[in-house]
Amino acid sequence: MSVVASERRDAVLAARRLVVKVGSSSISGRNAAQIGPLVDALAAAHARGTEVVLVSSGAIATGMPYLRLDARPDDLATQQAAAAVGQNVLMVRYQDSLDRYGIVAGQVLLTAGDVENPTHRSNAQRAMERLLGLGILPIVNENDTVATHEIRFGDNDRLAALVSELIGADLLVLLSDVDALYTRPPHEPGAELISHVPIGDDLAGVELGDIGSAGVGTGGAGTKIAAAKHAAAGGTPVVLTSTTRVADALGGEAVGTWFDAAPRARRHGG
């Protein structure tokens, strides 16, 4: 094992608090069965004493079949309706899976305004800290039912980075349908896997394509890179990998792409 891989493994296993983000396409539709293995990995980290926060997309995608929709709706009102139905179903699916481990989930719905407004931000932070202190696993999503086009996060990669910053996470894991960041879309000839992104690397040579959209999500490689850089600049290292490799990622294995974090002077609780 290389020095970088060894340091990475140590950092993952030593993380006292971590945020995991999963996209719509990974846990909805034909991939809904991936919720079980995802929960297995989260529960394993929880069992070793790590405080875990899940940022989960998927409310709109999960609600679509119940509204007899074959494609993601374009109009805001129908998106809100799908989210209202889907968020409820999604939480039930997570809790049913978490019941196998005796873990209770807590739903946290945020808008961009909640993070930008100091009072709302403080309230959200206090609620999250209390949930974690009580041994609850917070499941965070954008509040799609009340969010408008003008104030949306736009994607939950950014939300996950902001949540990591909010709670002082020791690690952020961004999951999608692709196992790592590549120099160009991985299906194209000559694409090379990027295993390590040092501090300050602007990734200028990377040709961006979509990651994990599958017609139901809103994120892509660009949003994940931006989110990873935001979290890393704030002192939280990041792993970018596929949902199918989440257990390996949380076990400290050298999977996906690792973003080094800038030094952070003050950690939570210290």
Helix, strand, coil % over all residues of the chain, rounded to 5: 45, 15, 40
Give pLDDT tens digits along the chain (270 positions): 565 778 888 999 999 999 999 999 899 989 999 999 999 999 999 999 999 999 999 999 999 999 999 998 888 899 889 999 999 999 999 999 999 999 999 999 998 778 888 999 999 999 999 999 999 999 999 887 776 664 466 568 999 999 999 999 999 999 998 999 999 888 889 899 999 999 988 887 787 765 444 444 445 788 899 999 999 999 999 999 999 999 999 999 999 999 999 987 654 444
Binding site residue list: 21, 57, 144, 156, 176-177
- 93 vs 51: CA distance, rounded Å: 21
Domains with residue ranges and CATH for the chain: 3-259 (3.40.1160.10)
Binding-site entries for substrate: 57, 144, 156
Binding residues for ATP: 21, 176-177
Cβ burial, residue 203 (10 Å; 0-12/13-18/19+): middle
